[in-house]
Amino acid sequence: MRTYSAKYINVDFGMKTILGGGYYSGKGSDDKYGIPYAECICDFCKKHNIKRIVDLGCGDFRVGSKLTGACEYYTGVDCVEELIRCNQKKYGNDKIAFLYKDITDDELPDGDLCLCRQVLQHLNNSQIQMVMENIKRKNYKYVIITEHLLNNPKTEKNLDKISGMHTRLFLGSGVYLDSSPFNYETQKLACIPYDRKSHLEIMLVLLKRTDDR
C-alpha cells in the first residue's frame, strides 16, 4: 500500500527547482548543515566499523554524497521515482545505489547503519510509527534519525499534522521519538545549530519501545 499518490509526492517532496531542473531537498541539506552532519556520521562509521549505509529519504544526495567515503556500500532510498532515476544515472556505481521505495511499507534494503535525516518531520504520526516498525523489521545494527527541532524546551512534542512539505515547526512542535506516542529509547549524538530558534538533532535510536516493558 502506498501512503501517497505519486503526484502528491512529486509536488510536495520532489522539490524540482525551476532553474536548472535539478532536484533540491531544501535548505537543511545545504553544506552549512550537511557538513557537520557528515562529520558526525563518518566518525560514527569509523568507530563502529560500518560497511553498509542505508539512507532513507535520501533526497538530492547532497548530504549522502558526503558519507560514501566512510562506508563500502551506500544505498539511498526515496519515494520520488524520477529523483531516484536521476540519482542512479548521475551517481550510481558498484558501491552507490538508489532504490525507489515508500519507506512506510516497502521492504527496506539490508545494511549495518540506517539513516533517516529530516524525513519523519514531514510525515503524520501514524506514518512515522509505520516507518519505525518497518525499520525494526530489518534488524539494522544502528539507526540514526535526524530531526529539525525548536530550541524552546517547552515545545509541545509530536503534535500530529497532515503529511506534506511543511513540518511541525509551524505548529511550534517537532518529532521526539523518545516521547508519546512513539516512546523509543534514544541517545543524542550531536546538535547542529540551524537558526536563532532551531537546531538539527542527531539521535541514535535503540529500537526498543520504552512502553514495551
Ligand X SMILES: C[S@@+](CC[C@H](N)C(=O)[O-])C[C@H]1O[C@@H](n2cnc3c(N)ncnc32)[C@H](O)[C@@H]1O
Which residues lie near ligand X (CB under 6 A)?
Answer: 3, 13, 25-26, 28-29, 57-59, 62-63, 78-80, 102-104, 117-119, 122
DSSP secondary structure code for residue 23 in this structure: B
* Nearest to ligand X of 8, 187 (CB atom): 8
Nearest distance from C-beta of residue 153 to ligand X, angstroms:
25
- Kind and range of the H or E element at 137? helix 125-138
What does the block give as the cell for 74? 551506500
What does the block give as the cell for 177? 521519538
What does the alpha-carbon distance between residue 100 and residue 120 come to, in Å, rounded to a whole number? 17
Nearest distance from C-beta of residue 203 to ligand X, angstroms:
14
Bond from prior residue into 193 cis (ω within 30 degrees of 0): no
Q: Which residue is nearest to ligand X (CB)?
A: 59
* Nearest to ligand X of 59, 109 (CB atom): 59
Name the residue among 107, 9, 13 with its Cα closest to residue 60: 13
* Nearest to ligand X of 13, 44 (CB atom): 13
* Nearest to ligand X of 13, 73 (CB atom): 13
HSE (side-chain half, CA atoms, 13 Å) at 88: 13
Q: How far is CA 112 from the centre of its chain?
A: 16
Nearest distance from C-beta of residue 154 to ligand X, angstroms:
26
Nearest distance from C-beta of residue 210 to ligand X, angstroms:
25
What does the block give as the cell for 34? 550537511
Nearest distance from C-beta of residue 182 to ligand X, angstroms:
17
Nearest distance from C-beta of residue 3 to ligand X, angstroms:
6
CB count within 10 Å of CB 12 equals 15
* Nearest to ligand X of 106, 210 (CB atom): 106
* Nearest to ligand X of 3, 125 (CB atom): 3
CB count within 10 Å of CB 31 equals 12
Enumerate the β-bridge partners of residue 142: 113
